[in-house]
Copies of this chain bind each other. A is one copy, B any other.
Amino acid sequence: MKAYEKSKLNTVKRGANRATYDVEKINNILDAGFIGYVSYTYQGKAIAIPMAYGRRDNTIILHGSNANRMLTSLLAVKEMSMTVMHLDALVMARSGFHHSVNYRSVTLFGTAKKIEETTDKNTALLCFMEHIMKGRWDGIREMSQQEFDRTLVVEMTIEKASAKIRDVGVADEPEDYELDVWAGLIPIKQIAEYPIADKGKPENMEIPEHILDYYEQNKK
């Protein structure tokens, strides 16, 4: 599949020229981060909760406590939606009306199911961790049975999706370009700062490669 099918639910109306349904572009936006806003309905009200996620092919892996209100609600209704957005710039125009932001955002719609079988659950947790930081899973202490049992793993299969991208400069009214107003972009970026070792043994250890790689790829 190269593009998600368009339906009334995922068709972008406002700023349709900025929309894409291309699977690769959508996956690139998903892989550039790991915090998504999962929406669910509680007591008749829609609520969005930020959650760490991992992507595996056309699925999204979430996890939490067995008692997590949102995850158990999602499993009850079986349908879910998640939104991810990266802010790239403030767009300062000559008029208030044309002020904007550059961003990459994705909205996903799909079905949620619990992953229970031991091997599947282990693999899903590994994929989740690898999505956030490649190489981390191998060196850490193995999960205890109790930890494993207390963890709820939910897999969302993406059925419909759309992305919106604004990545251009200022777009003012033609007659405004003559005004003496400063206009331009202020680039915005999420960065990692240098890792801080926990007290005790890590203070005397070399920082492992997977941590330094993450820092190098995400520093300013």
Query: Is there a chain B Cβ closer than 8 Å to A8's Cβ?
Result: yes
Q: Is the CB of B193 within 8 A of A180?
A: no
B-contact 0/1 string along A28-49, CB 8 Å cutoff = 0000000101111111011111
Q: Is the CB of B37 within 8 A of A48?
A: yes
Q: How far is the CB of A84 from chain B (nearest CB, A)?
A: 9
Q: Contacts A195-B186, A202-B183 given; indicate if A48 touches B43 (C-beta within 8 A).
A: no
B-contact 0/1 string along A181-220, CB 8 Å cutoff = 1111111111111111111111001111001001100101
How far is it, in angstroms, between the C-alpha of A160 and the C-alpha of B92 when the chains are bound? 33
- The copy count of this chain in the complex is 2
How far is it, in angstroms, between the C-alpha of A128 and the C-alpha of B136 when the chains are bound? 42
Binds B, one of A19-27, A54-62, A102-110, A113-121: A102-110
How far is it, in angstroms, between the C-alpha of A117 and the C-alpha of B211 when the chains are bound? 54
How far is it, in angstroms, between the C-alpha of A132 and the C-alpha of B137 when the chains are bound? 39
Query: Is there a chain B Cβ closer than 8 Å to A134's Cβ?
Result: no
- When distances are taken between beta carbons in the complex, the residues of chain B under 8 Å from A92 are 133, 136, 195, 211
Q: Is the CB of A129 within 8 A of B96?
A: yes
Q: How far is the CB of A39 from chain B (nearest CB, A)?
A: 4
Query: Is there a chain B Cβ closer than 8 Å to A2's Cβ?
Result: no
Query: Is there a chain B Cβ closer than 8 Å to A69's Cβ?
Result: yes
Q: Is the CB of B220 within 8 A of A191?
A: yes
Q: Contacts A81-B45, A184-B197, A214-B186 given; indicate if A141 touches B40 (C-beta within 8 A).
A: no
Q: Is the CB of B198 within 8 A of A50?
A: no
- What is the interface of chain A, defined by CB distance below 8 A to chain B? 8-9, 13-14, 35, 37-43, 45-50, 52, 64-65, 67-69, 79, 81-83, 85, 87, 90, 92-97, 99, 101, 103, 105, 107, 109, 125, 129, 132-133, 136-137, 139-141, 143-144, 147, 151, 169-170, 176-202, 205-208, 211, 214-215, 218, 220
Q: Enumerate 16 A-B pairs (CB-CB under 8 Å) in ascending A order.
A: A37-B50, A38-B48, A39-B39, A39-B47, A45-B109, A46-B48, A50-B85, A50-B103, A90-B133, A93-B140, A97-B147, A179-B201, A182-B211, A185-B195, A186-B215, A191-B191
